[in-house]
Amino acid sequence: MDIRVFEDNAELDVAAARLMADLVKSKPNAVLGLATGSTPIGVYRSLIDAAAKDGISFSSVTTFNLDEYVGLTPDNDQSYAYYMNQHLFSKIDIPLNQTHLPDGMTSDLEAFCQKYDAMLEDAKVDLQLLGLGHNGHIGFNEPAAELSAGTHVITLDEATREANARFFSSIDEVPTKAVTMGVGSILKAERILLVVRGADKASIVRRALTGPVTTDCPASLLQLHARVTVLLDKDAASLLATGGKEGCSNFASAM
């Protein structure tokens, strides 16, 4: 794993955006796997800036998002479809028909999951952006004795609903279910970019990157992937420095 630690959050955003922008520059028809949540907001802002500054076009790019809540329409301001339009798609030149998110409103979720997997299989994601949940989830693959490889419907952990309640007016409004890419689909990406910030994620960062590979911490499966870049702020990295760096073959400080 290529792990880089940043003193400054804005620099972290720029570095993450740079990886994505460079990919699109060198491969204009790149396939990007995208994430939502608070972590990528600054990354998308920097990507929009980089695109404008360097004249990078997304007109041939295809995107697939990791997940979507079940029961929220795309015009609901808490849906991930709304988030993606707000934070990225409306600000770059990507045709919306080349952007894909799981459909949390379909009457046949199972058929949709199969269709999404077939599309992912055909498209082959070049770079998958990931955030990290406090419980080690990636996408909405929550810790469990068994994990699904493909896209599936998941019942969100109470801890995840509580963490995401900050975006809703009350926890009761946070959906109980979501559709998420599976860990198998995530691990099929050519390259993975994991971005994590904050002291509250320091212990799960250490577990995910240096602990045993276990379905109890889905992000630990990233240790099995050959090309993972991890960008951390210094708070998220704080327990790596003291907690041993086993498994981190390339630990660099960008501070």
Tell me whether residue 87 is one of the annotated catalytic residues: no
Which among 65, 142, 152, 164 is annotated as catalytic? 142
Tell me whether residue 122 is one of the annotated catalytic residues: no
Shortest Å distance, C-beta 154 to ligand F6R:
11
Q: Does 137 bind ligand F6R (CB under 6 A)?
A: yes
Taking alpha carbons only, the member of 53, 58, 64 closest to residue 25 is: 58
| From 37-45, 53-61, 87-95, 227-235, span contacting ligand F6R (CB under 6 A) | 37-45
Q: Which of helix, strand or coil describes residue 149?
A: coil
Q: Does 175 bind ligand F6R (CB under 6 A)?
A: no
Q: Does 63 bind ligand F6R (CB under 6 A)?
A: no
Residue of 5, 13, 39, 94 that binds ligand F6R (CB under 6 A): 39
Helix H or strand E segment including 98: none
Is 191 exposed, middle or buried (CB count within 10 Å of its CB: 0-12, 13-18, 19+)?
middle
Residue 1 CA: distances (Å) to CA of 9, 20, 129, 245 = 21, 18, 15, 11
Residue of 7, 10, 38, 250 that binds ligand F6R (CB under 6 A): 38
Residues carrying an active site annotation: 67, 135, 137, 142
Q: What residue ranges bind ligand F6R (CB under 6 A)?
A: 35-39, 66-67, 131-133, 137-140
